[in-house]
Structure 1
Amino acid sequence: RFRILVMGKANAGKTTILQRVCNTTDEPEIFDGNGEKVLCRAHIKRMQRGYHNIEDELVFKSNPRFVFHDSCGFEAGSEAEFDKMKKFVTDHAKDAKLERRIHAIWYCIPLSESHRMVTAAEKKFFNECDSGHVPVIVLLTKADALNLDAIEELMDRGFSEDEAMKEAPEVEKQLQKGCLEKIKGWLNELKFPPLSYLMLAGMEQEGADCEELLKCTAAALTEEGLQGLLISSQQSNLGLCMEFAIMK
């Protein structure tokens, strides 16, 4: 099974992305570090509020070939939670048991908070957490939230509301590009910068296309057999399978 650690603030749209990747609207089932299903109501309620134990496995019935872990906790500034997350990454990056290893890390940064995209938590992670051979991909989530910023900017320039809405997509692209360049500038200067960056928009829509995310993840994998493992978890995605065959 392909194992991914998902990181980022509680409002970064992480669960929505995982649901789209697994083509479902259901909540994931939770299993503890020993593979036992978690049935405790209090634990499930905490998870639904965005609080996860990083050791818990989140698995969707629609595609059990993916196993997700959620780091939520250290972003609030707790040193103990950061150390726990760091130990998890270190241990699971080189676990002797192949099935326990994490294969990729998705770090979600929401553009809905464009005034505070990179906080102390992101800087701390990319300065202090060495993920070894496990690729870290920064996902710029909620990129379509900049549409409203684009409309406001155009109206400030004197456009009518109708004109602003018509011109907004082009300005939105420029704003997205500006955010990406800023984030790259900040993170690429740190000790352990991410391997790649990907802009994600429209993930709230049912049936949103995750092909670019999966392609980006496949391209980041260097270990023998891991691309095949990721592709095999997405057999229904013909485009991805063909792309992988060409890459090979």
Structure 2
Amino acid sequence: MNSDAETPSENDLSFWNDRHLEFRVLILGRANAGKTTILERLTGAAMHEAEVSRDGETLVGQTVKGQIDRGLHNIDDEIRFRSRPGFVFHDSRGVEAGSATELSTVQRFVEKRSSAATDLRRQLHVIWMCLPLDDSRELFETERDIFLQLKDMAPLVVVFTKHDGAVSKETSQILMDFPENTRNRSGRKEARKKAEIKVFNRVKELEGELRGLGLADSTTAFLTTSGMEVPTGDAEKSCQELIDLTEACLTGPRIKTLLSMVWGHNLLKHGFWCLYWTILRRGA
């Protein structure tokens, strides 16, 4: 059994000097929801470079590529990337399958790692729920169940993925209703504008439905991503926005400090929080 000296509290400055601080994310979504793409852009690495561990032991030969979007992982498996060593990702099995067992597995996992159940080192810090815009126009019943189950249990960022694919698909459908002699460059431009409006309205409808389920407080945020398939400036911007929205959903300065230190891009904010904790500790 570990002593207090072996497991320092997050109030102890030695905790924040630990080079192995970790920020824990549960990423959910149906098959082909774009989870793999988000992780690859965020970490700047390919999925086959990820390391998977279970109960502290690395799973030798574990292949991650292509599995996370099909939900083949044990939810307790920890997925890490050498390029972003401070992040620990967890994935669930197929959300769209509708299995009561899988839904209860997700719920038990979140309960076990909630802020009330464990310390900052082991707790789940945020859930990213991916909903692809180029697939179904509506939420799956299992997705509604998950939102209802997880409401208020952890900070949540809902990521509407594949916006560009949805616009392209809508554009093609709209063009089919145009007379053949108007399907020129200007016709395609008009069709794309209409498609962008339709996809925008769909996002707002989905947001409204989710807010109707009770997801409307400061611990919930919504993000729409586009052009994430390749590493571009827009993809990098979306990743930064995902981190910013995640931080905004977090409750309390300790977890915000942790994310700032793990992400490591906002050095000014990092320095502010370190100063905050130093003053707090001295005043204790």
Q: Residues of 1 paired with 2:51 and 2:210: CA distance? A: 33
Indicate the SS of the match to 2:58: coil
Instruction: Give the match for residue 141 of structure 1.
Output: 161
Task: Determine which of 48, 51, 58 is the counterpart of 1:37.
Answer: 58
User: Across the two proteins, how many residue pairs are aligned to each other?
Assistant: 241
Instruction: Give the match for residue 263 of structure 2.
Output: 234
CA radius of gyration, larger in: 2
Instruction: Give the match for residue 6 of structure 1.
Output: 27
- 1:1-248 to 2 correspondence within 5 Å? 1-27=22-48, 28-32=50-54, 34-39=55-60, 47=67, 49-94=70-115, 95-115=117-137, 117-132=138-153, 134-148=154-168, 149-154=170-175, 156-158=177-179, 159-167=182-190, 170-191=193-214, 195-207=220-232, 208-209=235-236, 210-235=239-264, 237=265, 240-241=266-267
Q: Residues of 2 paired with 1:44 and 1:153: CA distance? A: 38
Greater shift in the superposed pair: 44-53 or 201-210? 44-53
Greater shift in the superposed pair: 167-176 or 179-188? 167-176
Indicate the SS of the match to 1:109: strand
Q: Is the 8 A contact 1:195 1:220 kept in 2?
A: yes
Percent of aligned positions that are identical: 34
Q: Residues of 2 paired with 1:244 and 1:179: CA distance? A: 37
Q: Residues of 2 paired with 1:146 and 1:191: CA distance? A: 26
Greater shift in the superposed pair: 200-209 or 154-163? 154-163
Q: Is the 8 A contact 1:112 1:146 kept in 2?
A: yes
Q: Is the 8 A contact 1:93 1:131 kept in 2?
A: no
Indicate the SS of the match to 2:74: coil
* Structure 1: tracts of 5 or more residues without a match: none
The alignment yields a C-alpha RMSD, in angstroms, of: 2.8
Q: Residues of 1 paired with 2:77 and 2:173: CA distance? A: 42
Distance 1:179 1:241, change over 3 A: farther
Q: Is the 8 A contact 1:59 1:66 kept in 2?
A: yes
Q: Is the 8 A contact 2:174 2:195 kept in 1?
A: no
Distance 1:139 1:234, change over 3 A: same
Q: CA deviation at 1:40?
A: 5.5
Distance 1:223 1:105, change over 3 A: same
Indicate the SS of the match to 1:100: coil
Indicate the SS of the match to 1:163: helix
Distance 1:219 1:166, change over 3 A: same
Counterpart amino acid of residue 185 in structure 2: D
> What TM-score, normalized by structure 1, do the two folds share?
0.85
Q: Residues of 2 paired with 1:177 and 1:164: CA distance? A: 20
* Structure 2: tracts of 5 or more residues without a match: 1-21, 277-284
